[in-house]
């Protein structure tokens, strides 16, 4: 039998219902307090009728005040508080006048006091009740206004964050797409239709993976590596034996959750500055380990090394050393900052003798739809590329004891 889950709604989810609940509870408590006080002082029971009339009078006048205050609360502060003071004065005077008339009828035979004397003596109670009611009305509405503004600001910040993540997510290096299309065009001109068709198929598969992922979405490491393998299959057709890869992934790291398309720009950066800049190519190694409650990702290449800071246009070029614009790594750094704040680590190292390393540490969170192991495209680096000794097969390593 299904169990219906009941979730408590916020008290002010319906302002109209909350108003009537507070109105009835407040004036009911005022009546009860005065009735108990009268009975404790051994007043006759018919005094309860007098208290009931007084309470109903205050209840009715407060309803009129709520209509007036609802209009005043939208005005400038000076107008709001000035008109409120005037309206409250007349409301208290009206309440006290009605109470005076009722008591004049009730105590007509027992008390010899004038209307003005009784009016002055009864002003304190309406002033206390209606003054407190007015202060509470404005305080609650001010609180609700602040809450609404805070919610609106939070939604705007969330939208701004999503927009910034989308911008960073779509800020992929277009050189890869241009180079791939040029390679396909060259193969078509050379009438090598089969390789051209294979490269076009792999390009469409990669683009499909990148476009269906929501900006700022989270995927498992296994899914991220599968998408990365689609990208590498295309680049292997371009660089052939010059591109060598090695993946070392812990089994425990495969279900880890991370931002979509986090690794592809790092590998693209390595291909651009390590593989394409050297005639003999380079090797790119990806390592993923779970260390405590953290996921550590490392992308290394055996290229000449590169700086992750933008180059000064006035600075002279260093022969044999690739020039970095700093956009790709800055993109990753900004995405990590948006996703994890200060709870992440992003480091780059470039050795003097060659080689460039990017180290990322993020909190380890298990993805809900993560698989227990790598998919077929991830498990075998040679399957999608048609074989060859230039591809180092992916290896999964056991979790650290």
Domain boundaries, the chain: 15-161, 171-312+320-397
pLDDT in tens, the chain (401 residues): 444 444 555 767 778 888 898 899 999 998 999 888 888 888 888 888 888 988 999 999 999 999 999 898 888 888 889 999 999 999 999 998 888 888 888 776 566 677 787 788 888 888 999 999 999 999 988 888 888 888 888 887 776 766 665 555 555 556 677 778 888 888 888 888 888 888 888 888 877 776 666 656 788 999 889 888 888 988 888 888 899 999 999 999 999 999 888 888 889 888 888 888 888 889 999 999 999 999 999 999 988 876 544 445 454 544 444 455 455 688 788 888 878 888 999 999 887 778 899 999 999 998 765 444 444 334 344 333 333 333 333 444 443 33
Q: b/e for 186-197, b at 16 or more Cβ within 10 A?
A: ebeeeeeeeebe
Closest CA to 261 of 324, 326, 212: 212
Say which residues have a Cβ less than 8 Å from residue 147's Cβ, sequence separation at least 6: 12
Is the dihedral angle over the CA atoms 289, 290, 295, 296 positive or is it negative?
negative
Q: What is the pLDDT of residues 327-360, one digit of tens each?
A: 568 878 888 887 888 899 999 988 777 889 999 9
At 304, list the tokens: 């000449």
> Beta partners for 298?
287, 359
Q: For residue 2, give the DSSP letter.
A: P
Kindly report the pTM of this predicted structure: 0.52
- Say how far apart CA 114 and CA 100 lie, in whole Å: 10
Is the dihedral angle over the CA atoms 40, 112, 59, 94 positive or is it negative?
negative
CA 375 to chain centre: 30
Domain at 171-312+320-397: CATH architecture: 2-Layer Sandwich (3.30)
Q: What is the pLDDT of residues 48-63, one digit of tens each?
A: 888 898 899 999 999 9
- Say how far apart CA 298 and CA 288 lie, in whole Å: 7
Query: Rounded to 5 degrees, what are φ and ψ at 201?
Result: -65, -45
- Say how far apart CA 199 and CA 187 lie, in whole Å: 10
Query: Tokens 């005040």 belong to which residue?
Result: 65
Contacts 24+ apart (CB under 8 A), 305-311: 305/350, 305/351, 305/352, 305/354, 305/355, 305/356, 306/269, 306/273, 306/274, 306/350, 306/356, 307/350, 308/348, 308/350
Question: Among the residues of 107-220, which ranges form H helices?
Answer: 115-122, 124-169, 174-189, 193-212
Contact at 8 Å (CB) between 373 and 254?
yes
Say which residues have a Cβ less than 8 Å from residue 400's Cβ, sequence separation at least 6: 250, 289, 290, 291
Task: Let me know if 262 is exposed, middle or buried by CB neighbors in 10 A (0-12, 13-18, 19+).
Answer: buried
Contact at 8 Å (CB) between 70 and 138?
no
Please give the helix or strand (H or E) that residue 374 lies within, else none: none
- Say how far apart CA 258 and CA 362 lie, in whole Å: 8
- Say how far apart CA 263 and CA 229 lie, in whole Å: 11
Cβ neighbour number for residue 179 with a 10 Å cutoff: 17
Alpha-carbon distance values, 195 to 105, 209, 275, 388, 400 (Å)? 106, 21, 21, 15, 42
């Amino acid at each position: 039998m299904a169990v219906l889950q009941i979730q408590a709604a916020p008290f002010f989810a319906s302002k109209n219902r909350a108003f009537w609940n507070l109105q009835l509870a407040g004036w009911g408590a005022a009546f009860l307090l005065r009735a108990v006080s009268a009975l404790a002082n051994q007043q006759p029971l018919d005094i309860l009728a007098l208290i009931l009339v007084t309470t109903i009078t205050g209840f009715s006048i407060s309803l009129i005040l709520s209509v007036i205050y609802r209009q005043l609360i939208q005005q400038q502060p000076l107008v709001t508080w000035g008109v409120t003071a005037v309206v409250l004065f007349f409301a208290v005077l009206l309440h006290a006048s009605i109470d005076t008339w009722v008591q004049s009828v009730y105590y007509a035979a027992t008390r010899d006091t004038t209307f003005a004397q009784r009016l002055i003596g009864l002003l304190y109670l309406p002033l206390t009740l209606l003054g407190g009611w007015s202060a509470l009305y404005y305080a609650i509405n001010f609180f609700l206004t602040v809450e609404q503004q805070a919610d609106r600001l939070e939604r705007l910040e969330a939208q701004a964050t999503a927009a910034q993540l989308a911008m960073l997510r779509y800020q992929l290096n277009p050189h890869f797409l241009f180079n791939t299309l040029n390679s396909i065009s060259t193969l078509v001109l050379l009438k090598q239709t089969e390789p051209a068709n294979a490269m076009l198929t792999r390009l469409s598969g990669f683009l499909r993976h990148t476009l269906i992922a929501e900006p700022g979405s989270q995927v498992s490491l296994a899914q991220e590596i599968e998408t990365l393998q689609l990208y590498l299959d295309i680049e292997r057709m371009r660089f052939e034996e010059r591109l060598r890869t090695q993946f070392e992934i812990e089994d425990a790291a495969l279900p880890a959750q991370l931002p979509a398309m986090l690794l592809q720009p790092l590998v693209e950066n390595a291909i651009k500055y390590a593989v394409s800049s050297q005639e003999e190519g380079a090797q790119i190694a990806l390592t993923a380990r779970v260390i405590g409650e953290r996921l550590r990702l490392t992308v290394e290449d055996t290229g000449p090394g590169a700086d992750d800071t933008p180059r000064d246009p006035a600075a002279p070029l260093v022969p044999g050393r690739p020039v970095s614009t700093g956009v790709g790594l800055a993109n990753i750094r900004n995405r990590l900052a948006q996703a994890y704040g200060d709870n992440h680590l992003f480091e780059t190292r470039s050795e003097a003798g060659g080689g460039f390393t990017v180290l990322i540490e993020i909190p380890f969170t298990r993805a809900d739809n993560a698989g227990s192991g790598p998919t077929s495209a991830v498990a075998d680096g040679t399957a999608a590329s048609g074989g060859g000794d230039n591809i180092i097969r992916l290896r999964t390593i056991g979790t650290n004891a």
